[in-house]
Amino acid sequence: MSARFAIRPGDCHPMGATLDNNGANFAVYSSTATKVELCLFDNSGHTEIARIPLFSDEQGIWHLYIKGLMENQLYGYRIYGEYAPEKGLRHNPNKLLVDPYAKALFGEFSHSDSHRNDGDYFERDSACDMPKCKVINFSTYRAKRPSIPWHKTVIYECHVKGISEQFPLNNAAHRGRYAALCDSNFINHIKTLGVTAIELLPVHAFLDEAFVHSRKLTNFWGYNSLNFFTPHTHYGQQNAHLEFKQMVSTLHAHHIEVIIDVVFNHTAEGNENGPLLSLRGFDNGAYYRLHSDDPSLYINDTGCGNTLNLDHPKTVQLVLDSLRYWYNIMGVDGFRFDLAPILGRNKTGFNSLHTFFQTIAQDPSLKNAKFIAEPWDIGPGGYQLGQFIAPWREWNDQYRDTVRRFWRGDAHMLPHFAHYFHGSNRHFEVKGRASTSSINFITAHDGFTLCDLVSFNHKYNFANQEQNNDGHNENYSYNWGHEGLDAPSDVLKLRTKMQKNMLLTLCLSSGVPMLTGGVECGNSQDGNNNAYCQDNPIGWVNWPQIQKPHEHELYIFITQLLAIRAQYSLYRQNHFIHDNDPRYTVNWCDQHGQIMTDHAWHNEATKALGYHIIDREDNCELLLLFNASEQEVKFELPVLRPTTSQNASWQIKLTTCDSPVNNLAEPKHFIRLSALSAWVLSN
């Protein structure tokens, strides 16, 4: 069927489909195939119009050049070779495969028996149920990047559709799309809040798992990648590739960076019973980690059925090429790596000097990109907080749990709270890393929202149809006397105060603060702490309907906190502060205004403390006061340095109380810290 095309051997690089002025080059990798066919389709994607064998190369690269082939041509691959799962081989030319380097996809994936590889289904052709790859032209991203340093970064984690489906946009047709994040209303909302970077849940092309589809639900979050280069088409309207780049350039024009959540730990092909969609059909043993004693089985350190094999050079190349593409072509500023220890796994466990980390560290095209690790997976030795190397930053779940427990009133939390509030140096400084190595968060997409954290003692995930067995059981949450959202007014008032307490802690801790989209308006998921499959009002941010989002008291409170953070140099530097610091003095104070003693730190009854910072260069002082007890505490204020202030008196800048009494005319006076409150004072 190839007679109508002028074909010749192509180039082995770059991988994927690449257009030039005369045609297109195709290159794919398979070290175990006996034959590789490029399948071309008509514009509908329904009719296969040609099958063209590729030429083989000694490096396992199969290549082809087609003269005259135009942009938007649809294609896929069929791979011939042995189907012997016991040997780790799973080739089947009856299954149309997505190019691992495809830059655009056309059409929908359909769950059907055509993807099965057992019995009579082995010979069933899957092409009608597979999206087709599309040949596109792409160019280097040219817009100016914000290039915001870590010490000025404030992250806003959100989902393209979840954040925008009910947001008051100028154009309602853009809801759920990349275009929504270009909307001036949305940009003004996060810009005024104080955000400098949005971190998007997965935007790589992804699929619903079969078990989720069977329940008539969807993989809403997107942690089930089909392809590592293609923007998810459902977030676009006509051209997802161009619309994503337009979103990035618009956000950049407003000095907001874009970080994307990437899933390089597993793919949508699942376990040994899963379909052949892409990598598995090209070179199963190269792309996936298989059990050495039974290669028909997949190592499952991800809990999602399979694990990407970053020990293989071609898999490392695939991931690095994807990162380069999204950074250099699509314009993103950084990446948050889901289950990041997978990237450094070999047969003996996690290695912070794994080839992948060394390769990415020396890549000149990625030298200015931001890298954030989720530092855990479920494999042996999978918890690796603090073990990544600079310039990586890490999600700090120890910070999250400690802050939650402190404000819940748990005993013996003071020393832990102080450690994590001050930057978590025990985890990061030992390796010479910066104080911004910790990505501090109290909530994220996974788990309770902040509103639910103070409204539910238990999770309520029944809508996920897993008998409430999914999601975390220990959330360190507290409902403050009433389970659920429909609580008496006094309980609701206290819950708002508790949210403010945790937000104040987050925004004024050392490290990089990360807010979860919707926290600024008290977003709830009705107690669902694992809303991964809820593409509905449970998973969408429920923006207030009776007021504008920026009028919500939590929104106003966060803007005040982030303004304070931006004002003080303490938050604009990268080193950990110790007693010998030439510029700063940091003191932890007890309620008598004295330096905390060992007894005070470990006294179960002590739940109040002060954090006193002196900046000798800027001649200013900052005092943060925390009272996590359910009783009022009479707190004696430390003495201001005479050179700091002419009138030498403390002033309240912000508090989580509704109407504080200003009794701070002179130092050494007492301030009454109401129960469960936090305060910011300065000279």
- Beta bridge partner(s), residue 77: 38, 97
152 vs 116, 197, 251, 535, 563, CA distance in Å? 50, 10, 17, 33, 12
Cα 253–254–257 angle (5° rounding)? 85
Res 246: pLDDT: 98
DSSP state of 231: B
Contact (CB, 8 A) for 164 and 188:
no
Cis amide bond preceding 14, omega within 30:
yes
pLDDT for 668:
60
pLDDT under 50: residue ranges of the chain: 1-2, 665
Is 641:621 a contact under the CB 8 Å cutoff? yes
Phi, psi dihedrals of residue 513, rounded to the nearest 5°: -75, 140
Question: Do residues 262 and 327 touch, judged by C-beta distance below 8 A?
Answer: no
Helix ranges (DSSP H) in 261-327 = 279-287, 313-324
**65 half-sphere exposure, CB direction, 13 A CA radius:** 13
Task: Quote the CA–CA distance of 163 and 157 in Å, as a whole number.
Answer: 9
Q: What is the pLDDT of residues 3-44, one digit of tens each?
A: 567 999 999 999 999 999 999 999 999 999 999 999 999 999
Single pTM value for the model: 0.97
Partners of residue 337 on adjacent β-strands? 262, 373
615 SS3 class: strand
Active site positions, annotated? 338, 374
